[in-house]
Amino acid sequence: MRAFLCAALLILISTQAAFAITSPRERLDDPVLAARAEIIAKDIRCVVCQNQSIADSDSEIALGLRTLIAVQLKEGKSNDEIITYIHDRYGDFILMKPPVKPATWALWFGPALIFLLGLFAASRMMKRKPSAKTTGGHA
Amino acid sequence: MMKKYALYILPALFAALLIAAAATVLMRGDDPSVVKTNTHITAPAIGIKGPAIVNFFASWCVPCEAEHPTITALAAQIDTYGINYMDSQEKADAFFARLGNPYKEVFYDTEGQMGVEWGLVGVPTTFIIDSNNMIVYRQDAPLTPAQVESDILPLLEELR
């Protein structure tokens, strides 16, 4: 009984991450194209979701974008051409990894900068003599 | 003592910088959550000729209904095309019967595929295309009369 429950649970968990194919519109019979479609879809953000790629989302927009990818793959376009096409229309936010450029510097380097500031502050505070706290009092 | 206080002020300074950056765009009247993206690419071919306005709408979209009078006023000044998004012709007809049809022509995007080609995130979204069918303006929110007055009418004057 316990083994059966474990197996059922494992199946339940493992199916959660399945690639979301929800419509015949986006179906690609050629396995090579289907594999490329999945690679592209993993790089494209679902713009109405919370940090999901369109490969993981069931939303209408994700379905529309996957269909667009399928159509363009059948037309013989390269992965880069398709990503550029979508990037031109939706802007940097559509890419799961936005390009590094002056407008996105805060996004890429901001966290590291805040971490370094914190590290600097922490090291300064730890270097202080413990006795300073008791004798110095509040200014 | 001086040095210690300088250290404590750093996070406050950083926060003030972020607030100032956000406040300047807000004070200017822009909505910083609206990212202007696909301007200056050619509009997907749907058989129209610019300069024109292309407005995505749906009968299920309440902000579209709020925007409807603004679109109606604009349509008197420039060719205005509607794209009915993730909806149906019957529902769009009922919407027009209730509020009026301001559009020169209406296209039906029942599956949202045209939306993806235009880089649409939601409705209403309005595009302005120039005489070469280049997208020169985009708004991912309802147009307001104030905005038509300040931004759109001057832009249309330039496009003529």
Contact (CB<8Å) A91/B118: no
pLDDT tens digit string along B80-129? 999 999 999 999 999 999 999 999 999 999 988 999 999 999 999 999 99
**Pairwise CA distance, residues A126 & B76, whole Å:** 70
Contact (CB<8Å) A67/B117: no
Chain B residues in contact with A86 (beta carbon < 8 A): 119
pTM metric for this prediction: 0.74
The residues facing B54 across adjacent strands are B81, B127
- Measuring CA to CA, how many Å separate A84 from each of A81, A139, B78, B157? 5, 59, 32, 32
Quick one: which H or E segment has residue B66?
Answer: helix B62-75
pLDDT tens digit string along B36-87? 566 778 889 899 998 999 999 999 999 999 999 999 999 999 999 999 999 9
pLDDT tens digit string along A54-87? 998 888 899 999 999 999 999 999 999 999 999 9
Are A11 and B97 in contact by the 8 Å Cβ rule? The answer is no
The residues facing B137 across adjacent strands are B128
Q: How large is the ipTM?
A: 0.74
Could you tell me which of B4, B12, B10 has the C-alpha nearest to residue A136? B4
Pairing of strands B52-57, B80-85: parallel
In the DSSP assignment, the letter for residue B44 is P
Taking each helix axis as running N to C, give the angle between helix B89-99 and helix B62-75, from 0 to 180 degrees, rounded to the nearest 10.
60
Q: Which residue has the tokens 């159509």?
A: A71
Are B114 and B107 in contact by the 8 Å Cβ rule? The answer is yes
**Pairwise CA distance, residues B25 & A43, whole Å:** 30
Pick B116's closest partner by Cβ from A65, A91, A125.
A65
Determine the distance in angstroms separating the CA of B62 from the nearest CA of chain A, rounded to an integer: 18
**Gyration radius (Cα) of chain A, Å:** 24
B122 interfaces chain A, CB cutoff of 8 Å: yes
The residues facing A45 across adjacent strands are A53
Are B156 and B128 in contact by the 8 Å Cβ rule? The answer is yes
Tokens of residue B115, six digits: 């939306």
For residue A15, how many other CB atoms are within 10 A of its CB?
Answer: 8
